[in-house]
Structure 1
């Protein structure tokens, strides 16, 4: 399908070169179609860029939705903590998947220099995931929604993202050429320990302030 090929190639091109640097002529040629296809389907380069953001958001939603399958009742910290581990574990799996490299490049560009495409990304699965994580953190730590809860949520989120966004540094620090299954499990275990420690600290802080 022409649109599928265009979007796959566009995500890669925009991720590597950005909106300004990517060539629609090269994107069309790589997709085996004419430049007029981009104009017809997306209205031009900017439209294709926004469509690429929508495409990433759709794929993120499809791959992450199983992690949100379990509902957590307010006042159930055990279930909330397991939900957090589930979400972070699913996110780690995606960060270790080489297929998300192109998504990551695109998303990191939007994080550094947001355009209209950022809203397409954040208002989709990314924002939904973060908002649910905030709720899970509050329930898991037995606290109200607050700045502290949101900062903690971003800290939890960041410890997983670093595996992809700072991949070269991670490999250098770990002194490995790649992250194999055994190392991935050790990273997963450490993230779980860190997560519980952060939640325990939030709970303790809340008790001290009462």
Structure 2
């Protein structure tokens, strides 16, 4: 390995350390409540690494949002691509997605989402995103454009096909947000879920219960009288 490759590897490791630490620290304390010293100490790197690699704390914050997108994409990217490819195939043939296929895709997505939301790995992600929901910044714009918007858009197309309505309609948009909210509650209200269910944690058995539930939620999606096109 050349000196240049070694330096590049070290730089990538340092960046990864900072981004991983920043995701946790920013999520816990927010942008204003976090100091660059906190960030460098949490990452175990020199304080000057932040301006060197990211320009400023603000630069690191925005880069952290993009890093969050890539982390989540590792879990949902394959499914998203598979559904997107199928939709493009149907569009090129001038065909519409069937209700049956839409339910299968939506069930797959919902099960993937709930498995991710209740995982330990998603805790710092949720803290960061929830803060951005309350007071959106450029970081939220990056997360929404890179992940949330496209994912919600795909769910919207599935729900539109199931309801027999235009996916761009206000009604389908609202039904989609309500559906996604039914799944997100298992992360954003995690403590309340454990207390209500009298669970100590979400292990394999509890996770399967939740996966069965989201499949049930998909099955309950039915057209509302007066809205079917």
**Taking structure 2 as the reference length, what is the TM-score of the superposition?**
0.85
Alignment-derived partner of residue 47 in structure 2: 35
Contact 1:61 1:124 in 2 (8 A): no
Q: 1:127-138 residue pairs with structure 2 within 5 A?
A: 127-138=149-160
Alignment-derived partner of residue 206 in structure 1: 227
| 1:201/1:139 CA distance change after superposition, 3 Å | closer
Paired residue secondary structure (2:222): helix
**Quick one: which of 27, 32, 57 aligns to 1:45?**
57
Cα drift, residue 205 of structure 1: 4.2
**Quick one: which of 120, 124, 127 aligns to 1:105?**
127
Q: What stretches of structure 2 of length at least 5 have no aligned partner?
A: 1-12, 91-95
Cα drift, residue 206 of structure 1: 3.0
Comparing both structures, which one devotes a greater share of its residues to helix? 1
**Matched length:** 206
Matched, 1:81 2:93: no
Tell me the distance in 1 between the aligned counterparts of 2:41 and 2:209: 43
**CA distances 1:71-114 after superposition (whole Å, capped 9, x unpaired):** 24424111111111111111111111101111110001001111
Alignment-derived partner of residue 211 in structure 2: 188
Which structure has the larger Rg over C-alpha atoms?
2
Q: Let me know the Cα RMSD of the aligned residues.
A: 1.4
Runs of 4+ in 1 over 4 A off after TM superposition: none
Paired residue secondary structure (1:84): helix
**CA distances 1:102-144 after superposition (whole Å, capped 9, x unpaired):** 1110001001111111000000121110011111111122111
Paired residue secondary structure (2:48): helix
Q: What stretches of structure 1 of length at least 5 have no aligned partner?
A: none
Q: 1:1-210 residue pairs with structure 2 within 5 A?
A: 1-68=13-80, 69-70=82-83, 71-72=86-87, 73=90, 74-145=96-167, 146-197=169-220, 199-202=221-224, 204-207=225-228
Contact 1:75 1:142 in 2 (8 A): no
